[in-house]
Amino acid sequence: MGLDIRWPIGLMFSLIGVLLTGYGAANSAASVIKIDGQGININLVWGVVLLIFGVLMLLGASRGSKTPPSA
């Protein structure tokens, strides 16, 4: 099996991260949560977190071993 599980996981999290970041940036007033008097855009924050995780998974998959282990 030559498929690394990090490829589809990285693609999925990157896509969801981009969508959530875009939604949080476009609708900043609708997704603000007040915590200790500060307004935190939760969609924007979690979109960036998911995007970073997805990119890290894709980087790990691309830097992974290129040849399958020999038996």
Residue 51 lies in a domain: yes
Residue 37 lies in a domain: yes
Please indicate whether residue 67 or residue 41 has the higher confidence score (pLDDT): 41
Residue 70 lies in a domain: no
Instruction: Give the predicted TM-score (pTM) of the model.
Output: 0.81
Residue 19 lies in a domain: yes
Residue 12 lies in a domain: yes
Euclidean distance between CA atoms 66 and 63, whole angstroms: 8
The pLDDT tens digits of the residues spanning 5-53 come to 999 999 999 999 999 999 988 987 777 777 666 788 888 999 999 999 9
Residue 71 lies in a domain: no
Contact 9, 60 (CB under 8 A): no
| Total count of domains within the chain | 1
Residue 22 lies in a domain: yes
pLDDT value of position 32: 77
Query: Which residue range(s) make up the domain with 57?
Result: 6-62
